[in-house]
Structure 1
Amino acid sequence: MLGNFSYSNPTKIYFGEDALNYLNEELAKYGKNVLLAYGGGSIKKTDLYDRIVKILKDNGKEVFEDAGVMPNPTVEKLYEGCKIAKENDVDLILAVGGGSVCDYAKAVSVSTYCEEDPWDKYFLRMEDVDNKIIPVGCVLTMVGTGSEMNGGSVITNHDTKLKIGHVFGDNVFPKFTIMNPVFTYTIPHYQMVAGFFDIMSHILEQYFTNEDDNTSDYVMEGLLKSLIHSSRIAVKKPTDYEARSNIMWTATWALNTFVGKGKSQDWMVHMIGQSIGAYTDATHGMTLSAISIPYYRFIMPFGLKKFKRYAINVWNVNPEGKTDEQIAKEGLDQMEAYMREIGFVMSIKDLGVTEDMLDGIAKGSFILKGGYKVLNHDEIVHVLKNSMI
């Protein structure tokens, strides 16, 4: 393990088919006014919306609705949510949905009482929160982002073609999250699959750094093997509870800050993917899948030892009689074959990216250190071009 670190995660998880029952227990801790944030209304097509509203009413809560949270929450939507929360003196924000709704709820929680433009303060200048924070609780209906147990929030500004994530401290983490794998059964197949790669990408961007013997790497290899196994089952049988529950739990541990401890981290795939999203509004997980293989093939020579380990420990590549480069390459080849098998998007052209966007996408990709290779603008364009094949 490298360096010094502290670890804290204040989010309480209720997991399983009876998890929603514990919402009663949590609601008693907060005031009367609850902002119910959700997406396009899919929760009304099942009984989930009615069940949650009933629980809220039975606990004497005044419910204020903030519907229409889009897959890539916009700054305009953020301002709208802040207005509702402030006008109604909201005591709790209850996010019902996937990662975008959870992200959005956290953005509203820190922005409602911000005395300046929250986009400028939190997403451009990346400043800490120094104002009142409205607590957030989540009821998860889609997995992938890990937003249910972290401080991350991603907001899109279409005017400036920027999609930016701010990872807030544990004072912004959801106070509690309800996780019933059955609630994820109704999401469309494409969205389900996209979430699977978001999970994989979160793990890989923490895994492909450093070369020390690190406990976190062993944990991540196990998470990856579980995800690969369960995703193969879930694409054929989306209502397989065991597979979907394993995936849900893996998604949470992929990005609740635990596996990144003692490591530097490489988030360039996310930086490029988010810039693609700012131009196309494409589904987040698919922006990551479309560029991952070209990106990892590009940086592989600079982190050959770890790519070799990845091939052997995750993809069971037989190293006998092969060079390190051959082993590493075979691992990425197997990863690509798996991605095609599951149905991930493999070309950014399929997401609506055109040649004339590449320079702008590269400019909008924040260049981060921490990986085996710090990319420059031209190298990002190179990766993007290889992602169009």
Structure 2
Amino acid sequence: MLGNFSYSNPTKLYFGENSLDNLRTELSGYGKNILLVYGGGSIKKNGIYDKVVEILKACGKEIFEDAGVMPNPTVEKLYEGCRRAKDGNVDLILAVGGGSVCDYAKAVSVSAYCEEDPWEKYYLRMEDVDNKIIPVGCILTMVGTGSEMNGGSVITNHAAKLKIGHVFGDNVFPKFSILNPVFTYTLPKYQMAAGFFDIMSHILEQYFSGTDDNTSDYIMEGLLKSLIHSSKIAVNDPTNYEARSNIMWIATWALNTLVAKGKSTDWMVHMIGQSVGAFTDATHGMTLSAISIPYYEFIMPYGLQKFKRYAINVWNVSPEGKTDEEIAGEGLTRMEAYMKEIGLVMSMKELGVTEDMLDGIAKGSFILEGGYKVLTHGEIVSILKESMR
């Protein structure tokens, strides 16, 4: 492990089939006014909404609703949420949904009492929070983002063609999160598979950085192997509790800051994928899957030994009689086969990307320096062209 770091995670998790029972206990620590945040209404169809509202009413809470949170929450929706939160003088924001709903809730929590434009302050200037923060609790219905146990919040500005994430500090982490794997059963296969790859991408963004013998890398290899195994089961049997519970737990640990410790981390797949989302509004996990193989093929020569290790330790590639390049390449080939097996998008064309968008997508991709190769604008365009195959 290299460098110096501190580690703290204040989010309390309740996990399992009876985890929602703990909501009553948590609600006792907050005031009367609750902003109930959710998406397009699927929680009303599957009964989760009724269960949550019943508990809120039994606890004597006043419910203010903020429905219609979209898969890529927009800045306009953020402004609307801020108005609802302030008008209701809410004491807690309760997010019921997937990562986008949780992300949005955290954005509202820091923005409702912000005296400036929160888009400018938090997403363009990346400033810290210096105003009142409304606490957030999460009830998860989709896995992938890890938003239930981190300070991340991604907001899209379609007018500016920007999709930007801000990773806030411990004070913005959800105070509690409820994780019932059964709540994820009704998710459509496309969204389920996209979430699975978002998990994988989170792990790989942290794994493919650094050259030291890092404990975090060993943890990530175990998480990846468990994810690969369980996701293959889940795509064929979505109500397999063991597989879905394993995946839900992996998603949380993939991005709750633990495995990033001692790592420089990469995040270029996410930077490019988020820019694609700003142009197309495509499903986040699928923007990552479409760019990943071209990106990793491009940077593999610069981090060859880690790609070799990945091939052997995660994909069980036999190294006998092969060069390092052949071993590493076979690992990516097996990864690509797995991605196709679980139904991921492998071409940007399927997401609505056209050749005339590529330069703009590249310009909207923040260039980070934590990976094995710092990309140029032209290199991002070349990778995007490969992703159009």
Same fold (TM over 0.5): yes
Give the Cα–Cα distance (whole angstroms) in 2 for the partners of residues 301 and 2 of structure 1. 23
Q: Tell me the alpha carbon deviations over residues 111-135 of structure 1, each in whole angstroms, 9 at most, x when there is no partner.
A: 0000000000000000000000000
Q: Which runs of 5+ in 2 are unaligned?
A: none
Give the Cα–Cα distance (whole angstroms) in 2 for the partners of residues 362 and 101 of structure 1. 27
Quote the offset at 1:29 in angstroms: 0.3
Partner of 1:173: 173
Give the Cα–Cα distance (whole angstroms) in 2 for the partners of residues 264 and 367 of structure 1. 14
Q: Tell me the alpha carbon deviations over residues 330-381 of structure 1, each in whole angstroms, 9 at most, x when there is no partner.
A: 0000000111111110000000000000000000000000100000000000
Partner of 1:277: 277
Indicate yes or no: 2:132 matched with 1:120.
Answer: no
Partner of 2:298: 298
Quote the offset at 1:177 in angstroms: 0.3
Partner of 2:99: 99
Give the Cα–Cα distance (whole angstroms) in 1 for the partners of residues 27 and 107 of structure 2. 21
Partner of 2:337: 337
Letter in 2 for 1:98: G
Partner of 1:364: 364
Give the Cα–Cα distance (whole angstroms) in 2 for the partners of residues 178 and 209 of structure 1. 32
Partner of 2:30: 30
Give the Cα–Cα distance (whole angstroms) in 2 for the partners of residues 46 and 158 of structure 1. 31
Partner of 2:64: 64
Give the Cα–Cα distance (whole angstroms) in 1 for the partners of residues 380 and 107 of structure 2. 29
Partner of 2:250: 250
Quote the offset at 1:310 in angstroms: 0.2
Partner of 1:86: 86
Quote the offset at 1:246 in angstroms: 0.2
Partner of 1:50: 50
Partner of 1:8: 8
Letter in 1 for 2:331: G
Letter in 1 for 2:368: L
Q: Tell me the alpha carbon deviations over residues 143-181 of structure 1, each in whole angstroms, 9 at most, x when there is no partner.
A: 000000000000000000000000000100000000000
Partner of 1:201: 201
Partner of 2:354: 354
Q: Tell me the alpha carbon deviations over residues 34-82 of structure 1, each in whole angstroms, 9 at most, x when there is no partner.
A: 0000000000002211110010011010000000000000000000000
TM-score between both structures, scaled by the size of structure 1: 1.00
Partner of 1:108: 108
Aligned residue for 1:171, secondary structure, equals helix
Aligned residue for 1:7, secondary structure, equals coil
Letter in 2 for 1:260: A
Give the Cα–Cα distance (whole angstroms) in 1 for the partners of residues 89 and 346 of structure 2. 46
Aligned residue for 2:170, secondary structure, equals coil
Give the Cα–Cα distance (whole angstroms) in 2 for the partners of residues 215 and 344 of structure 1. 30
- List, as ranges, runs of 4+ consecutive aligned residues in structure 1 with deviation greater than 3 Å: none
Letter in 1 for 2:51: R
Letter in 1 for 2:129: V
Give the Cα–Cα distance (whole angstroms) in 1 for the partners of residues 314 and 346 of structure 2. 21
Give the Cα–Cα distance (whole angstroms) in 2 for the partners of residues 33 and 259 of structure 1. 36
Q: Tell me the alpha carbon deviations over residues 92-125 of structure 1, each in whole angstroms, 9 at most, x when there is no partner.
A: 0000000000000000000000000000000000
Quote the offset at 1:303 in angstroms: 0.2
Q: Which runs of 5+ in 1 are unaligned?
A: none
Partner of 1:189: 189
Identity percentage over the alignment? 82
Letter in 2 for 1:99: G
Q: Tell me the alpha carbon deviations over residues 175-213 of structure 1, each in whole angstroms, 9 at most, x when there is no partner.
A: 000000000001111000000000000000000011111
Give the Cα–Cα distance (whole angstroms) in 2 for the partners of residues 150 and 127 of structure 1. 17
Partner of 1:289: 289
Give the Cα–Cα distance (whole angstroms) in 2 for the partners of residues 105 and 325 of structure 1. 45
Give the Cα–Cα distance (whole angstroms) in 2 for the partners of residues 142 and 268 of structure 1. 24
Partner of 1:374: 374
TM-score between both structures, scaled by the size of structure 2: 1.00
Q: Tell me the alpha carbon deviations over residues 15-47 of structure 1, each in whole angstroms, 9 at most, x when there is no partner.
A: 000000000000000000000000000000022
Letter in 2 for 1:58: A
Q: Counterparts in 2 of 1:226-241, with a 5 A limit?
A: 226-241=226-241
When the two structures are aligned, how many residues end up with a matched partner?
389
Letter in 2 for 1:277: G
Give the Cα–Cα distance (whole angstroms) in 1 for the partners of residues 263 and 134 of structure 2. 31
